Structure 1
């Protein structure tokens, strides 16, 4: 006979013994703003603060793993097809930082069979080291206009650089997602800024327009300055904080990472990655491409 009371007690111990998981997606309205570089560096900074970080990477080119100099050989799609176990697909790129390549499977989430969905859920339930933070590096060219990974996350950070085209594209993305899916809260990370006041002005201007048109509330996530040390670290496939910890960009990423950990808990919960994947599958089945392109 099954010991249901014992099973329930063990389940509760696992649930309440977990730290609260925070899932943050990063998106951009256009290429060239440094979104993936920011994700890679923030992951390293969070790991330096003692967090176990999992990066779910939706990009096939300019991947986060490649930033660390690690070759991507497999994709989460091979897990769904029972070709590879999840342990062989997840890449350990640095102490405390793992990357899960997911570019191929995200493109077809809406068409997964019930059996494939179950395989996906079971795989995440068996992950060996639970993550404290999940950073989602979303793709700009998702076939539905905006990744369901961004909709399922607790927070969405829009990365923007301080030039007219980037600002316009970032606002268009916010408008599209707000009107299509009633997402009313985003955070703005200004990258490649000359100084703090310029970055703050970029956020304030976008936030004022979004507020006046009743689209969304935009909180300021911080900024990263133009920095030759960051470019040099990128060429060497290393986080800037590891090579040049006193560089302006390294200190900026450390500040953003610290602030991220203190963002209001809101929807963050202890149900883990399985719950995130359940939400992701639910959303992907219901995304209306007509609405998202409105």
Structure 2
């Protein structure tokens, strides 16, 4: 196993040694808050700024590829099983944006043997163009309660909508992950807010409770305003900045993209996909479902 870890680290280091990749996981306490829509539009905003974006999609329904009107028929699991190549699985949905479907593999991470782990690493190293930003659209239905991708990423953004149930569920998710895995930093993105002050108040209230109970430190990732043009663009399988670049939602995603690119850089020993894959494989073997549901 030590030799395998050395091989995987060396391969990833050769590919990504010159790049600092920003890896951000988006999670939600419940479905229906607009998480996947936010990821898809943020990817478009980042690509418009000249960044290469890789979206790792854990979802079987409402996939990121489908958001762009594309079809993702394969999964990373098939690469691990040597049934498909990485080029057959990755879907180019728009200039600068690629989607890596991972709904099946994420359910099996804890059960991968050494050969399958090697295949997973090889898939990452075979990705043609290195990414500047990796956005992980995490499924809320992970069998262990929280995706290992969210634990391995540099940043975790919790998407919440302005209603009581969504806010309660977002806080419950933060509490579970903080107590179960000592994750002490999250960012809050408020979707469909009517006013900037409403979104800020939602963040402030959750942050105050989590801080007073010693759970985590929360930072504000911004908000996406309620915008009928965003809904119209989504129905047409297009990012909002492509159809309505001057809309409030498009401007919000551009501001969010700028902020994301200027978040404080990760430590040198935590940067890049090398660390991400190493952490992912390690965490997937050690996640305790009892802790996450405590």
Shorter-chain TM band: over 0.9
Consecutive aligned runs of 4 or more in structure 1 exceeding 3 Å deviation:
10-17, 267-272
Task: Give the TM-score, by structure 1 length.
Answer: 0.93
The CA distance in 1 between the partners of 2:13 and 2:35, in whole Å, is: 37
1:159–1:118 Cα change, 3 Å: same
Give secondary structure in 1 for the equivalent of 2:180.
helix
How far is 1:127 from its partner? 1.5
| Map of 2:117 onto structure 1 | 117
1:175–1:268 Cα change, 3 Å: farther
Task: Give the TM-score, by structure 2 length.
Answer: 0.93
**Cα offsets for 1:240-285 (capped at 9, x unmatched):** 0111000000000100110000001134668643432221011000
| Map of 1:141 onto structure 2 | 141
| Map of 1:152 onto structure 2 | 152
Unaligned segments of structure 1, at least 5 residues: 1-9
| Map of 1:252 onto structure 2 | 252
* Alpha carbons 1:125, 1:273 under 8 Å: kept: no
Aligned length: 285
| Map of 1:32 onto structure 2 | 32
The CA distance in 2 between the partners of 1:245 and 1:139, in whole Å, is: 29
The CA distance in 2 between the partners of 1:257 and 1:28, in whole Å, is: 19
The CA distance in 1 between the partners of 2:12 and 2:81, in whole Å, is: 31
1:17–1:178 Cα change, 3 Å: closer
Question: In terms of mean alpha carbon deviation, does 15-24 or 173-182 score higher?
Answer: 15-24
Question: In terms of mean alpha carbon deviation, does 59-68 or 272-281 score higher?
Answer: 272-281
The CA distance in 1 between the partners of 2:57 and 2:234, in whole Å, is: 18
1:86–1:269 Cα change, 3 Å: farther
* Alpha carbons 2:233, 2:240 under 8 Å: kept: yes
1:137–1:267 Cα change, 3 Å: farther
**For the aligned residues, what is the CA RMSD?**
1.8
| Map of 1:69 onto structure 2 | 69
| Map of 1:3 onto structure 2 | none
**Cα offsets for 1:95-128 (capped at 9, x unmatched):** 0000000000100100011100011111211221
How far is 1:174 from its partner? 0.2
The CA distance in 2 between the partners of 1:13 and 1:123, in whole Å, is: 14
Give secondary structure in 1 for the equivalent of 2:286.
coil
